[in-house]
Structure 1
Amino acid sequence: MNDSHTSLSRRRILLGAAAASAVTVAGTTAAHAAPPTAPSAGEAPQARRLVARDRIATARLAGGAARFQPDLHERLDAWLAFWSANSPRVWSTPVQVEGRVSADGDAFTLHVIRVIRDDETRDAFAAGRSDAAHLATLASLHHHFPSVRVEAGGALRVADGPAGWSGSAEQVAFAVTACRELWGLRAADATDWQERVSRAGHAADPASRSGWAAFTRESQRRGLRTESY
């Protein structure tokens, strides 16, 4: 979907990949998902149980049902609802998501989000497309997950866990890219991006829990050009 999003270079979009850990390609389709692993000593039997789901929030999973850790699926539901709530009003709620679940059900790699606009199904986010919607979607995932990585080809991989600022290389690299490409702070770097965001009128410390949530939310809205409503 090209709409009116500003095109970004692949080098800038994948800035986070250069500073983060080595790329790995995770996942498996539902048909090849591994069975639940046996619980370790002292672990509740249901803790490692995988659940089959054919949707994330409103969106069908391309390829049919996949097996998730229950907590990861709940976080993905909340993430996609958040992404939709901060997307353009002319887009429908997401109708389809393409992605892969890891064998243990604890990580998800996102490739495509599809919505309906003007009675046509369109790719609102596509892993291989270098545009502001890609960075906006990356921001929305950082809002909900502690580990978000840009894979080869632009796919976005998340691991389960509570969101929040950790100071990881992936988070810092995203923040610097967002400052430069979405906030217009072209001189921002890994040492001063927090100060520059604060000077730009961001009320909270972007490295605090509430500040990181606000920074990632506004970054998504800037990328999708919905910051005015």
Structure 2
Amino acid sequence: MSRRAVITAATVGSVLALAKPAAAAPGADAKTAAALIDRDQLGTAITKSSEGRPVTLRYAMDFHERLSEWLRFWWANAPASWIAPFEVQTAGATPDGQTFVLTGITYTRADRRYSGFDARDRDARYWATVASLYYHFPTVALTDTQVRVTDEHAGFTGSPAQIAFARAALANVWQDASADWEKAAERAIRSSGREGSVTSRAGWTNFTRATLRRGLGTEL
């Protein structure tokens, strides 16, 4: 399957996934329940537990669509040798459907399954994937085995977590551990052919996109 076909299929899959909301639970607040949907996929990627079992999670509708868009973005910037089908490993979602817990992403190549992201490994792919999440969401919490993503509008907030991510990404993806992380990030942005301050909305977008591509080995 070509990468274009995969991305097109993912888009169609995410639209179909939003077509029919889940029924409200007995006694639940009607407005809240109507806004939640049960899904076993993000785009066309099956969601599975860390043990490999298919899982269905409850999401806020807009959040599910934005997560699907994030995954299409990650996949579109992955190496061309990675092919579908691919799966997302998760430790679940919060009851309000607005936080998703990511633990891994796998893809296939030559009929074998490989890891494209593992929340336990702080390698370049790890920071690339965290960058792709920061491209779409402002709040990304990291633990030793999980990445927790919360549904909010994307952009640079200057939070300690965002700055810690930028420093780690610069050191591990860009091999630039300069004390002045802002200037180091701007050097990374320039190396991708763009300009701007990393603390601006456009600069943060450029930095996270460039970090994703460099970390996955698809930098132009």
Q: How far 1:129 moved relative to its partner?
A: 2.3
Task: Note closer, same or farther for the CA distance 1:130–1:176 as it changes in structure 2 (3 Å cut).
Answer: closer
Q: How many residues are matched?
A: 186
Q: 1:166 aligns with which of 140, 157, 162?
A: 157
Contact 1:60 1:96 in 2 (8 A): yes
Higher RCO, Cα 8 Å, sep 6+:
1
Q: 1:193 aligns with which of 181, 187, 200?
A: 181
Name 2:116's counterpart in structure 1.
Answer: 124
Q: How far 1:212 moved relative to its partner?
A: 0.5
Task: Note closer, same or farther for the CA distance 1:186–1:38 as it changes in structure 2 (3 Å cut).
Answer: same
Q: Which amino acid aligns with 1:195?
A: K
Stretches of 4+ aligned residues off by more than 4 angstroms:
34-37
What SS does the corresponding residue of 1:116 show, helix, strand or coil?
Answer: strand
**Structure 1 position 111 matched with structure 2 position 99:** no
Contact 1:149 1:158 in 2 (8 A): yes
Following the alignment from structure 1 to structure 2, what is the Cα–Cα distance between the partners of residues 36 and 194?
A: 50
Q: 2:36 aligns with which of 26, 50, 54?
A: 50
What SS does the corresponding residue of 1:227 show, helix, strand or coil?
Answer: coil
Task: Note closer, same or farther for the CA distance 1:130–1:180 as it changes in structure 2 (3 Å cut).
Answer: closer
Q: How far 1:117 moved relative to its partner?
A: 1.2
Name 1:175's counterpart in structure 2.
Answer: 166
Contact 2:79 2:218 in 1 (8 A): yes
The structure in which a higher percent of residues are helix is 2
Task: Note closer, same or farther for the CA distance 1:35–1:143 as it changes in structure 2 (3 Å cut).
Answer: farther
What SS does the corresponding residue of 1:152 show, helix, strand or coil?
Answer: coil
Name 2:79's counterpart in structure 1.
Answer: 88
What SS does the corresponding residue of 2:83 show, helix, strand or coil?
Answer: coil
Q: Structure 2 length as normaliser, TM-score?
A: 0.78
Contact 2:84 2:107 in 1 (8 A): yes
Q: How far 1:128 moved relative to its partner?
A: 1.6
Contact 1:84 1:94 in 2 (8 A): no
The structure in which a higher percent of residues are strand is 2
Q: Which amino acid aligns with 1:170?
A: A
Q: How far 1:36 moved relative to its partner?
A: 9.0
Following the alignment from structure 1 to structure 2, what is the Cα–Cα distance between the partners of residues 129 and 220?
A: 16
Task: Note closer, same or farther for the CA distance 1:55–1:167 as it changes in structure 2 (3 Å cut).
Answer: same
Identity %: 40
Following the alignment from structure 2 to structure 1, what is the Cα–Cα distance between the partners of residues 63 and 27?
A: 14
**Structure 1 position 139 matched with structure 2 position 131:** yes
